[in-house]
A and B are shown apart, each in its own frame.
Chain A
């Protein structure tokens, strides 16, 4: 059963997980997901994000999005910290299959597939942006 926490105002804080499974600059859905996560945090939801599949490319450091006339994903990701959204996860299986090491990426906690099943089960809602 999902665990809900009572905040000061006696309102149920729902647990919302945002899934980013698309790469950053072609689909543009990842940025939209980050914005939704920030709105959710502002509404007192308990927010986490997971990057899986080609979504993991969002976490490559030193992206220079100005080159293609877009906002840098990293900048938007940094703004999440201002909203106290710090539960960022990345799928370890997706990293392995792409030959990427967690150490090469921006900060996110690695989860194996079993841990992801557990994470999903704990949520009140899972918001995706599948292509």
Chain B
């Protein structure tokens, strides 16, 4: 029997250190910036999402094939890295913090102006910034993937807070029945999104 999902609990970081979390919160807010359409990655909880994912089975690469030997191969053969996602974040964030400290006179990522932060992220994305012992482009790709997962996954996992990601695109979430709407062509679907746990306006406030 499958385990029903458990909503992530608010509270302290479960995987990140305070410094790591500050870097991640600043980064996810550049990857998905706040604007008039809605919150950015930070307020949508993307850092919390990544933290809880890394503290759980995903972070440990649970269930994956992790037997040696680890040999480099063709891109078509898939990821052959020995490190699980949690370890990749730990080394990647350390290398990134070190790079920023030495490049920007002792500063950390969150102290940089948004334009500078974007420049760093672009440098990681293209691989033009070289990090010690870490493939910067692969690390960036993992961070971007997890950030977007957090923004669009069910809020039960800590991201997509108030269904910000779903509201952005117009995805109604966990509704599960559109029989009345399938042949109503070119009409906007009028109902707001619902998550697995319902909606905050369903909760009685004191």
Partners in one complex: no
